[in-house]
Amino acid sequence: MKDKNFDLLRIVVGIVVFFLIISGLSYITAGIDFLKFFPAVSICPFRFITGFKCPGCGMTHAFIHLSQFKIACATKKNIFSIPLLLVMIIYLFSGKRIKLLYSPVIKYSLLLLIILFWILRLYFKF
């Protein structure tokens, strides 16, 4: 029996990658920049309640920058956008979860890295 959560996750990842491809093609062929259509204010619930950026803040803008091949802009918005997009693409096309990410050492290292990034983001306000 297939795991329904696994199928749903793959569908969601596929939709995100599809829209990133559309965004990139629209930018390359017609010069349409979808970032102009996003609000200037943040829609992050954590930021709305606390006033502070969460570790995921800026990910949508970063992904759109990546679809337009603006790597420097994407890393300024959120440095985790590149590795996350790579994991999503690998997951989408392989149809399997990356087992390396489930090892305890990797999981806790990533968690520590995200917490350190968050602390630095809060302290330096970038």
Could you tell me the sign of the dihedral formed by the alpha carbons of 113, 102, 67, 44, in that order?
negative
pLDDT digits (tens, 9 = 90+) for 54-71: 899 889 899 999 999 999
- Between CA 86 and CA 101 the distance in angstroms is 13
pLDDT at residue 18 in the model: 96
Cα 94 to the chain's mean position, in Å?
19
Residues 79-114 have pLDDT tens digits of: 999 999 998 998 888 877 778 778 899 989 999 999
User: Quick check: pTM over 0.85?
Assistant: no
What is the C-alpha to C-alpha distance for residues 3 and 75, in angstroms, rounded to an integer?
Answer: 34
From first CA to last CA, the distance across the chain in angstroms is 45
Residue with tokens 């979808």: 34
